[in-house]
Amino acid sequence: MTAGVREPMIAIAGAGHAAGRAVEALRGGGFKGRLVLVGEEQWLPYERPHLSKDLLAGKSELDTLLVRPARWYEEQEVELILETRVEAIDRPAARLRLSGGRSIAYDRLLLATGARPRPLAVEGADAPGVHAIRNIGDTLALRARLRNGARLLVVGAGFIGLEVAAIARGLGCSVTVLEAGPQPLSRVAPSSVGEFFAELHRFHGVDLRMNTTIERIGRTANRGLVAFASDGFEWQGDAIVAGIGSLPNVELAAQAGLHVDNGIRTDAWGRTADPAIYAAGDATSHFNPLLGRHVRLETWQNAQNQAIAVAKVMAGGSEPYSEVPWFWTDQYGINFQSAGMPLAWDTVVWRGAPDSRQCCVFYLQEGTVVGGATINQGRQMRTLKQMIARAAQVDAGMLQDDAVPLEKLLPAAA
Protein backbone atom coordinates (compact mmCIF):
# COMPACT_ATOMS: atom_id res chain seq x y z
CA MET A 1 0.00 0.00 0.00
CA THR A 2 1.31 3.43 -0.93
CA ALA A 3 2.33 5.50 2.08
CA GLY A 4 -0.35 7.95 3.14
CA VAL A 5 -3.10 6.20 1.12
CA ARG A 6 -5.85 4.65 3.21
CA GLU A 7 -7.36 1.35 2.12
CA PRO A 8 -11.15 1.73 1.76
CA MET A 9 -13.40 0.32 4.45
CA ILE A 10 -15.80 -2.39 3.27
CA ALA A 11 -18.95 -3.28 5.20
CA ILE A 12 -21.10 -6.34 4.53
CA ALA A 13 -24.77 -6.36 5.49
CA GLY A 14 -25.67 -10.00 6.11
CA ALA A 15 -23.72 -12.88 7.61
CA GLY A 16 -24.83 -15.94 5.70
CA HIS A 17 -23.10 -18.16 3.15
CA ALA A 18 -22.62 -15.39 0.56
CA ALA A 19 -21.21 -13.00 3.15
CA GLY A 20 -18.76 -15.59 4.43
CA ARG A 21 -17.44 -16.37 0.96
CA ALA A 22 -17.22 -12.68 0.12
CA VAL A 23 -15.08 -11.99 3.20
CA GLU A 24 -12.85 -14.91 2.28
CA ALA A 25 -12.48 -13.68 -1.33
CA LEU A 26 -11.80 -10.09 -0.29
CA ARG A 27 -8.89 -11.09 1.91
CA GLY A 28 -7.74 -13.64 -0.65
CA GLY A 29 -7.93 -10.96 -3.35
CA GLY A 30 -5.55 -8.71 -1.48
CA PHE A 31 -7.93 -6.34 0.27
CA LYS A 32 -6.10 -5.19 3.40
CA GLY A 33 -8.42 -2.48 4.64
CA ARG A 34 -10.98 -2.56 7.41
CA LEU A 35 -13.60 -5.25 6.87
CA VAL A 36 -16.80 -5.36 8.92
CA LEU A 37 -19.55 -7.98 8.71
CA VAL A 38 -22.96 -7.32 10.29
CA GLY A 39 -25.49 -10.12 10.72
CA GLU A 40 -28.77 -10.71 12.55
CA GLU A 41 -28.10 -14.34 13.48
CA GLN A 42 -25.97 -15.54 16.39
CA TRP A 43 -23.95 -17.91 14.21
CA LEU A 44 -20.87 -17.33 12.10
CA PRO A 45 -21.47 -17.47 8.32
CA TYR A 46 -22.55 -20.98 7.30
CA GLU A 47 -23.79 -22.93 4.29
CA ARG A 48 -27.58 -23.23 4.22
CA PRO A 49 -28.23 -26.27 1.96
CA HIS A 50 -27.43 -28.60 4.86
CA LEU A 51 -30.38 -27.17 6.81
CA SER A 52 -32.87 -29.31 4.89
CA LYS A 53 -30.39 -32.14 4.37
CA ASP A 54 -27.76 -33.56 6.75
CA LEU A 55 -28.36 -31.21 9.68
CA LEU A 56 -32.09 -31.99 9.70
CA ALA A 57 -31.31 -35.69 9.48
CA GLY A 58 -28.91 -35.45 12.41
CA LYS A 59 -25.97 -36.52 10.23
CA SER A 60 -23.86 -33.37 10.64
CA GLU A 61 -22.88 -31.02 13.43
CA LEU A 62 -23.01 -27.24 13.43
CA ASP A 63 -19.29 -26.70 13.01
CA THR A 64 -19.30 -28.61 9.70
CA LEU A 65 -21.64 -25.97 8.24
CA LEU A 66 -19.37 -23.00 8.96
CA VAL A 67 -17.66 -21.26 6.05
CA ARG A 68 -14.69 -20.59 8.36
CA PRO A 69 -14.12 -21.11 12.09
CA ALA A 70 -14.03 -18.17 14.50
CA ARG A 71 -10.23 -18.25 14.68
CA TRP A 72 -9.95 -17.49 10.96
CA TYR A 73 -11.90 -14.22 11.28
CA GLU A 74 -9.62 -13.16 14.12
CA GLU A 75 -6.50 -13.98 12.12
CA GLN A 76 -7.82 -12.10 9.09
CA GLU A 77 -8.85 -9.09 11.22
CA VAL A 78 -12.49 -9.28 10.19
CA GLU A 79 -14.81 -7.44 12.58
CA LEU A 80 -17.93 -9.49 13.31
CA ILE A 81 -21.04 -7.70 14.57
CA LEU A 82 -23.53 -10.53 15.10
CA GLU A 83 -27.08 -10.55 16.49
CA THR A 84 -27.38 -7.05 15.07
CA ARG A 85 -29.69 -5.74 12.38
CA VAL A 86 -28.81 -3.13 9.78
CA GLU A 87 -31.75 -0.76 10.14
CA ALA A 88 -30.98 1.65 7.32
CA ILE A 89 -28.44 2.78 4.74
CA ASP A 90 -27.63 6.50 4.75
CA ARG A 91 -26.27 6.76 1.22
CA PRO A 92 -25.34 10.47 1.27
CA ALA A 93 -23.31 9.96 4.47
CA ALA A 94 -22.15 6.45 3.46
CA ARG A 95 -23.14 5.03 6.83
CA LEU A 96 -25.11 2.05 8.13
CA ARG A 97 -27.50 2.55 11.03
CA LEU A 98 -27.58 -0.54 13.24
CA SER A 99 -30.04 -1.78 15.81
CA GLY A 100 -29.15 -0.52 19.27
CA GLY A 101 -28.34 2.97 18.02
CA ARG A 102 -24.85 2.34 16.67
CA SER A 103 -23.75 3.36 13.18
CA ILE A 104 -20.71 2.57 11.04
CA ALA A 105 -19.23 4.24 7.99
CA TYR A 106 -18.31 2.48 4.75
CA ASP A 107 -16.47 3.28 1.56
CA ARG A 108 -17.97 0.26 -0.19
CA LEU A 109 -20.94 -1.80 0.90
CA LEU A 110 -21.93 -5.35 -0.02
CA LEU A 111 -25.56 -6.30 0.50
CA ALA A 112 -25.80 -10.04 1.24
CA THR A 113 -29.17 -9.95 2.97
CA GLY A 114 -30.44 -13.28 1.65
CA ALA A 115 -34.05 -14.39 1.60
CA ARG A 116 -36.71 -15.58 4.02
CA PRO A 117 -39.37 -18.28 3.74
CA ARG A 118 -42.66 -17.22 2.23
CA PRO A 119 -45.13 -17.41 5.13
CA LEU A 120 -48.31 -19.44 5.16
CA ALA A 121 -51.06 -16.84 4.82
CA VAL A 122 -53.72 -18.84 6.64
CA GLU A 123 -55.39 -18.73 10.03
CA GLY A 124 -53.31 -20.52 12.66
CA ALA A 125 -50.02 -20.38 10.77
CA ASP A 126 -48.34 -18.91 13.86
CA ALA A 127 -49.25 -21.88 16.06
CA PRO A 128 -46.51 -23.80 17.89
CA GLY A 129 -45.42 -26.72 15.76
CA VAL A 130 -45.72 -24.85 12.45
CA HIS A 131 -42.24 -24.50 10.96
CA ALA A 132 -40.28 -23.02 8.07
CA ILE A 133 -36.59 -23.57 7.41
CA ARG A 134 -34.20 -20.69 6.92
CA ASN A 135 -31.66 -20.80 9.73
CA ILE A 136 -29.98 -23.25 12.09
CA GLY A 137 -32.49 -22.60 14.85
CA ASP A 138 -35.38 -23.46 12.50
CA THR A 139 -33.78 -26.78 11.58
CA LEU A 140 -32.96 -27.77 15.15
CA ALA A 141 -36.50 -26.95 16.29
CA LEU A 142 -38.01 -29.10 13.54
CA ARG A 143 -35.49 -31.91 14.07
CA ALA A 144 -36.60 -32.22 17.68
CA ARG A 145 -40.11 -33.06 16.45
CA LEU A 146 -39.13 -35.64 13.81
CA ARG A 147 -39.11 -38.65 16.12
CA ASN A 148 -40.11 -42.14 15.01
CA GLY A 149 -43.89 -42.30 14.66
CA ALA A 150 -44.43 -38.53 14.49
CA ARG A 151 -46.97 -37.23 12.00
CA LEU A 152 -45.71 -34.49 9.68
CA LEU A 153 -47.55 -32.33 7.16
CA VAL A 154 -45.47 -30.64 4.47
CA VAL A 155 -47.10 -27.76 2.57
CA GLY A 156 -45.49 -27.41 -0.85
CA ALA A 157 -43.80 -30.01 -3.06
CA GLY A 158 -40.85 -27.94 -4.17
CA PHE A 159 -37.31 -29.10 -3.50
CA ILE A 160 -37.25 -27.96 0.15
CA GLY A 161 -40.58 -29.63 0.90
CA LEU A 162 -39.56 -32.86 -0.81
CA GLU A 163 -36.20 -32.96 0.98
CA VAL A 164 -37.91 -32.53 4.35
CA ALA A 165 -40.43 -35.24 3.46
CA ALA A 166 -37.67 -37.68 2.48
CA ILE A 167 -35.68 -37.07 5.66
CA ALA A 168 -38.78 -37.38 7.83
CA ARG A 169 -39.65 -40.72 6.22
CA GLY A 170 -36.10 -41.89 6.85
CA LEU A 171 -36.57 -41.03 10.52
CA GLY A 172 -39.76 -43.07 10.73
CA CYS A 173 -42.32 -40.28 10.50
CA SER A 174 -45.69 -40.48 8.82
CA VAL A 175 -45.62 -37.81 6.08
CA THR A 176 -48.35 -36.06 4.09
CA VAL A 177 -47.51 -33.49 1.41
CA LEU A 178 -49.99 -30.94 0.04
CA GLU A 179 -49.15 -29.34 -3.30
CA ALA A 180 -51.18 -26.65 -5.06
CA GLY A 181 -49.95 -27.70 -8.51
CA PRO A 182 -50.68 -30.80 -10.59
CA GLN A 183 -47.38 -32.47 -9.69
CA PRO A 184 -44.27 -31.77 -7.60
CA LEU A 185 -41.92 -29.08 -8.92
CA SER A 186 -44.61 -27.84 -11.29
CA ARG A 187 -43.14 -24.31 -11.40
CA VAL A 188 -39.56 -25.29 -12.20
CA ALA A 189 -39.48 -28.60 -14.08
CA PRO A 190 -41.33 -30.53 -16.82
CA SER A 191 -44.28 -32.67 -15.76
CA SER A 192 -42.35 -35.89 -16.37
CA VAL A 193 -39.70 -34.82 -13.83
CA GLY A 194 -42.44 -33.96 -11.35
CA GLU A 195 -44.05 -37.35 -11.96
CA PHE A 196 -40.70 -39.04 -11.28
CA PHE A 197 -40.53 -37.39 -7.86
CA ALA A 198 -44.20 -38.13 -7.15
CA GLU A 199 -43.66 -41.83 -7.81
CA LEU A 200 -40.45 -41.80 -5.78
CA HIS A 201 -42.13 -40.33 -2.71
CA ARG A 202 -45.22 -42.48 -2.96
CA PHE A 203 -43.02 -45.57 -3.25
CA HIS A 204 -41.47 -44.55 0.08
CA GLY A 205 -44.84 -44.13 1.76
CA VAL A 206 -45.56 -40.40 1.45
CA ASP A 207 -49.21 -39.42 1.11
CA LEU A 208 -48.86 -36.93 -1.74
CA ARG A 209 -51.95 -34.84 -2.49
CA MET A 210 -51.90 -32.70 -5.65
CA ASN A 211 -54.04 -29.67 -6.56
CA THR A 212 -54.59 -29.10 -2.86
CA THR A 213 -53.91 -26.09 -0.64
CA ILE A 214 -54.08 -25.56 3.09
CA GLU A 215 -56.90 -23.30 4.30
CA ARG A 216 -56.69 -23.25 8.07
CA ILE A 217 -54.67 -24.62 11.00
CA GLY A 218 -56.09 -25.30 14.43
CA ARG A 219 -55.42 -27.28 17.62
CA THR A 220 -56.83 -30.60 18.67
CA ALA A 221 -58.14 -31.37 22.15
CA ASN A 222 -54.81 -32.96 23.10
CA ARG A 223 -52.82 -29.92 21.85
CA GLY A 224 -51.85 -31.49 18.54
CA LEU A 225 -52.26 -29.73 15.21
CA VAL A 226 -55.15 -30.03 12.79
CA ALA A 227 -55.06 -28.69 9.24
CA PHE A 228 -57.94 -28.25 6.82
CA ALA A 229 -57.26 -28.54 3.08
CA SER A 230 -59.11 -27.09 0.11
CA ASP A 231 -60.33 -30.51 -1.05
CA GLY A 232 -61.99 -31.26 2.28
CA PHE A 233 -59.08 -33.34 3.57
CA GLU A 234 -58.48 -32.98 7.32
CA TRP A 235 -55.08 -33.83 8.76
CA GLN A 236 -54.10 -34.25 12.42
CA GLY A 237 -50.55 -34.58 13.64
CA ASP A 238 -47.49 -33.21 15.38
CA ALA A 239 -45.75 -30.74 13.05
CA ILE A 240 -46.32 -28.75 9.88
CA VAL A 241 -43.58 -27.47 7.57
CA ALA A 242 -44.17 -24.71 5.03
CA GLY A 243 -42.07 -25.04 1.89
CA ILE A 244 -43.84 -22.62 -0.45
CA GLY A 245 -40.92 -20.56 -1.67
CA SER A 246 -39.11 -17.54 -0.35
CA LEU A 247 -38.99 -13.77 -0.50
CA PRO A 248 -35.76 -11.82 -1.09
CA ASN A 249 -34.77 -9.49 1.73
CA VAL A 250 -34.81 -6.30 -0.31
CA GLU A 251 -36.33 -3.88 2.19
CA LEU A 252 -33.00 -2.36 3.20
CA ALA A 253 -32.09 -1.70 -0.43
CA ALA A 254 -35.54 -0.41 -1.33
CA GLN A 255 -35.59 2.04 1.58
CA ALA A 256 -32.24 3.35 0.39
CA GLY A 257 -33.67 4.03 -3.07
CA LEU A 258 -31.86 1.22 -4.91
CA HIS A 259 -33.55 -0.55 -7.82
CA VAL A 260 -35.50 -3.58 -6.63
CA ASP A 261 -37.26 -6.03 -8.96
CA ASN A 262 -37.69 -9.53 -7.50
CA GLY A 263 -34.37 -8.93 -5.81
CA ILE A 264 -31.77 -6.19 -5.58
CA ARG A 265 -31.05 -5.33 -9.20
CA THR A 266 -27.37 -5.63 -10.19
CA ASP A 267 -25.27 -6.03 -13.29
CA ALA A 268 -23.03 -9.04 -13.94
CA TRP A 269 -20.36 -7.53 -11.67
CA GLY A 270 -22.73 -7.23 -8.71
CA ARG A 271 -22.94 -3.44 -8.99
CA THR A 272 -26.12 -1.59 -8.06
CA ALA A 273 -27.04 1.88 -9.32
CA ASP A 274 -24.94 3.32 -6.47
CA PRO A 275 -21.24 2.90 -7.39
CA ALA A 276 -20.35 2.32 -3.73
CA ILE A 277 -22.90 -0.46 -3.19
CA TYR A 278 -22.78 -4.05 -4.46
CA ALA A 279 -25.01 -7.06 -3.81
CA ALA A 280 -24.65 -10.85 -3.96
CA GLY A 281 -26.51 -14.01 -3.05
CA ASP A 282 -30.18 -14.94 -2.68
CA ALA A 283 -31.34 -11.32 -2.45
CA THR A 284 -30.03 -10.30 -5.87
CA SER A 285 -31.60 -10.16 -9.28
CA HIS A 286 -28.36 -10.16 -11.22
CA PHE A 287 -27.67 -10.09 -14.94
CA ASN A 288 -26.48 -13.46 -16.24
CA PRO A 289 -24.55 -13.03 -19.53
CA LEU A 290 -25.08 -16.67 -20.53
CA LEU A 291 -28.86 -16.43 -20.18
CA GLY A 292 -29.06 -12.84 -21.43
CA ARG A 293 -31.39 -11.70 -18.65
CA HIS A 294 -31.64 -10.93 -14.95
CA VAL A 295 -32.24 -13.90 -12.65
CA ARG A 296 -32.67 -14.47 -8.94
CA LEU A 297 -31.24 -17.75 -7.66
CA GLU A 298 -31.47 -19.48 -4.30
CA THR A 299 -28.74 -22.06 -4.69
CA TRP A 300 -25.49 -23.04 -3.04
CA GLN A 301 -23.65 -22.31 -6.28
CA ASN A 302 -24.96 -18.77 -6.54
CA ALA A 303 -24.52 -17.90 -2.86
CA GLN A 304 -20.91 -19.04 -3.07
CA ASN A 305 -19.66 -18.30 -6.58
CA GLN A 306 -21.47 -15.04 -7.18
CA ALA A 307 -20.31 -13.73 -3.81
CA ILE A 308 -16.71 -14.67 -4.63
CA ALA A 309 -16.92 -13.02 -8.06
CA VAL A 310 -18.44 -9.80 -6.70
CA ALA A 311 -15.93 -9.64 -3.86
CA LYS A 312 -13.08 -9.92 -6.35
CA VAL A 313 -14.54 -6.97 -8.25
CA MET A 314 -14.73 -4.99 -5.02
CA ALA A 315 -11.08 -5.84 -4.43
CA GLY A 316 -10.11 -4.44 -7.85
CA GLY A 317 -10.94 -7.24 -10.28
CA SER A 318 -12.95 -6.97 -13.49
CA GLU A 319 -14.41 -10.42 -14.26
CA PRO A 320 -18.22 -10.70 -14.36
CA TYR A 321 -20.12 -13.56 -12.76
CA SER A 322 -21.28 -15.78 -15.62
CA GLU A 323 -22.25 -19.39 -14.88
CA VAL A 324 -24.98 -21.81 -15.87
CA PRO A 325 -27.33 -22.10 -12.87
CA TRP A 326 -26.99 -25.46 -11.09
CA PHE A 327 -28.26 -27.13 -7.95
CA TRP A 328 -28.71 -30.57 -6.46
CA THR A 329 -30.89 -32.55 -4.10
CA ASP A 330 -30.48 -35.97 -2.47
CA GLN A 331 -33.63 -37.96 -1.66
CA TYR A 332 -33.91 -41.66 -0.77
CA GLY A 333 -30.45 -42.36 -2.17
CA ILE A 334 -31.23 -40.51 -5.43
CA ASN A 335 -28.85 -37.75 -6.45
CA PHE A 336 -30.67 -35.28 -8.70
CA GLN A 337 -28.74 -32.41 -10.28
CA SER A 338 -30.35 -29.69 -12.37
CA ALA A 339 -28.78 -27.15 -14.74
CA GLY A 340 -30.16 -24.12 -16.53
CA MET A 341 -33.06 -21.81 -15.82
CA PRO A 342 -35.19 -21.91 -18.95
CA LEU A 343 -38.25 -19.73 -19.33
CA ALA A 344 -39.80 -22.29 -21.67
CA TRP A 345 -39.16 -25.58 -23.48
CA ASP A 346 -41.07 -27.37 -26.21
CA THR A 347 -39.38 -30.78 -26.05
CA VAL A 348 -38.31 -33.02 -23.17
CA VAL A 349 -35.89 -35.83 -24.01
CA TRP A 350 -35.05 -38.65 -21.59
CA ARG A 351 -31.74 -40.46 -22.05
CA GLY A 352 -32.41 -43.70 -20.20
CA ALA A 353 -35.62 -44.76 -18.49
CA PRO A 354 -36.68 -42.76 -15.41
CA ASP A 355 -37.49 -45.96 -13.50
CA SER A 356 -33.88 -47.10 -13.98
CA ARG A 357 -32.82 -44.25 -11.68
CA GLN A 358 -29.70 -43.93 -13.83
CA CYS A 359 -30.63 -41.40 -16.51
CA CYS A 360 -30.56 -37.84 -17.81
CA VAL A 361 -33.29 -35.53 -19.05
CA PHE A 362 -32.88 -32.59 -21.41
CA TYR A 363 -35.13 -29.58 -22.00
CA LEU A 364 -35.06 -28.20 -25.55
CA GLN A 365 -36.51 -25.08 -27.13
CA GLU A 366 -36.61 -25.23 -30.93
CA GLY A 367 -33.86 -27.85 -30.89
CA THR A 368 -31.56 -25.93 -28.53
CA VAL A 369 -30.62 -27.38 -25.13
CA VAL A 370 -31.83 -24.84 -22.56
CA GLY A 371 -31.83 -26.99 -19.41
CA GLY A 372 -31.73 -30.48 -18.03
CA ALA A 373 -31.02 -32.77 -15.13
CA THR A 374 -29.17 -35.91 -14.16
CA ILE A 375 -30.43 -38.71 -11.93
CA ASN A 376 -27.53 -40.62 -10.36
CA GLN A 377 -25.53 -39.56 -13.42
CA GLY A 378 -23.60 -36.61 -12.01
CA ARG A 379 -20.62 -37.30 -14.24
CA GLN A 380 -22.71 -36.04 -17.18
CA MET A 381 -23.43 -32.68 -15.55
CA ARG A 382 -20.30 -30.96 -16.85
CA THR A 383 -21.25 -31.74 -20.45
CA LEU A 384 -24.87 -30.73 -19.87
CA LYS A 385 -23.77 -27.34 -18.54
CA GLN A 386 -21.52 -26.85 -21.55
CA MET A 387 -24.43 -27.66 -23.87
CA ILE A 388 -26.52 -24.97 -22.22
CA ALA A 389 -23.69 -22.41 -22.19
CA ARG A 390 -22.99 -23.01 -25.89
CA ALA A 391 -26.68 -23.13 -26.89
CA ALA A 392 -26.14 -26.55 -28.42
CA GLN A 393 -28.47 -27.48 -31.28
CA VAL A 394 -28.99 -31.23 -31.10
CA ASP A 395 -30.97 -33.96 -32.77
CA ALA A 396 -33.46 -35.32 -30.23
CA GLY A 397 -33.02 -38.87 -31.48
CA MET A 398 -29.25 -38.80 -31.03
CA LEU A 399 -29.65 -37.13 -27.64
CA GLN A 400 -31.94 -39.97 -26.55
CA ASP A 401 -29.54 -42.66 -27.77
CA ASP A 402 -27.23 -43.44 -24.85
CA ALA A 403 -24.90 -45.24 -27.27
CA VAL A 404 -23.92 -41.79 -28.59
CA PRO A 405 -21.52 -40.09 -26.14
CA LEU A 406 -22.87 -36.73 -25.02
CA GLU A 407 -19.53 -35.12 -25.79
CA LYS A 408 -20.07 -35.92 -29.48
CA LEU A 409 -23.15 -33.68 -29.45
CA LEU A 410 -21.34 -30.73 -27.90
CA PRO A 411 -20.49 -27.90 -30.32
CA ALA A 412 -17.02 -26.44 -30.26
CA ALA A 413 -16.45 -23.49 -27.94
CA ALA A 414 -16.66 -20.09 -29.60
Domain holding 155: CATH number? 3.50.50.60
Q: Which domain holds residue 386?
A: 333-409
Same domain for 165 and 229, yes or no, is yes
Helix ranges restricted to H, 29-110: 54-57, 70-75
Same domain for 355 and 278, yes or no, is no
The predicted structure's pLDDT at residue 7: 76
Which residue, 192, 224, 244, sits at the end of a domain?
244
Same domain for 129 and 91, yes or no, is no
Backbone angle region of 167, left / alpha / beta, with phi > 0 → left and psi within -120 to 50 → alpha: alpha
Q: Who's near 232: CB < 8 A, 6+ residues apart?
A: none
In a domain, 372, yes or no: yes
Per-residue pLDDT of the chain (414 residues; tens, 9 = 90+): 444 566 789 999 999 999 999 999 999 999 999 999 999 999 999 999 999 999 999 999 899 999 999 999 999 999 999 999 999 999 999 999 999 999 999 999 999 999 999 999 999 999 999 999 999 999 999 999 999 999 999 999 999 999 999 999 999 999 999 999 999 998 889 999 999 999 999 999 999 999 999 999 999 988 899 999 999 999 999 999 999 999 999 999 999 999 999 999 999 999 999 999 999 999 999 999 999 999 999 999 999 999 999 999 999 999 999 999 999 999 999 999 999 999 999 999 999 999 999 999 999 999 999 999 999 999 999 999 999 999 999 999 999 999 999 999 998 876
Distance of alpha carbon 175 from alpha carbon 208, whole angstroms: 9
The predicted structure's pLDDT at residue 4: 52
Same domain for 112 and 123, yes or no, is no
In a domain, 342, yes or no: yes
Same domain for 142 and 239, yes or no, is yes
- Other Cβ atoms closer than 10 A to 359: 19
Same domain for 111 and 254, yes or no, is yes
Angle at 198 between CA 158 and CA 54, to 5 degrees: 55
Pairing label, strands 225-229, 234-237: antiparallel
Distance of alpha carbon 378 from alpha carbon 380, whole angstroms: 5
Domain count, the chain: 3
Which residue, 272, 287, 314, sits at the end of a domain?
314
The predicted structure's pLDDT at residue 414: 65
Distance of alpha carbon 207 from alpha carbon 5, whole angstroms: 65
pLDDT tens profile 52-61: 999 999 999 8
Q: Say if CB 28 and CB 312 are below 8 A apart.
A: no
Cα maximum dimension of the chain: 74
Looking from the CA of 136 toward its CB, the CA atoms found within 13 Å total 18
Looking from the CA of 209 toward its CB, the CA atoms found within 13 Å total 19
Which residue, 193, 210, 244, sits at the end of a domain?
244
In a domain, 18, yes or no: yes
Same domain for 238 and 140, yes or no, is yes
- Single-letter amino acid, residue 11: A
Torsion of CA 142, 148, 151, 152, to 10 degrees: 40
Same domain for 175 and 275, yes or no, is no
Q: Say if CB 40 and CB 64 are below 8 A apart.
A: no
The predicted structure's pLDDT at residue 2: 45
The pTM of this model reads: 0.94
- CB burial of residue 218 (10 Å; 0-12, 13-18, 19+): middle
Same domain for 235 and 124, yes or no, is yes
Same domain for 103 and 44, yes or no, is yes
Same domain for 305 and 357, yes or no, is no
In a domain, 320, yes or no: no
Same domain for 156 and 78, yes or no, is no
Give the CATH number, domain containing residue 392: 3.30.390.30
Backbone angle region of 110, left / alpha / beta, with phi > 0 → left and psi within -120 to 50 → alpha: beta
Distance of alpha carbon 329 from alpha carbon 299, whole angstroms: 11
The predicted structure's pLDDT at residue 159: 94
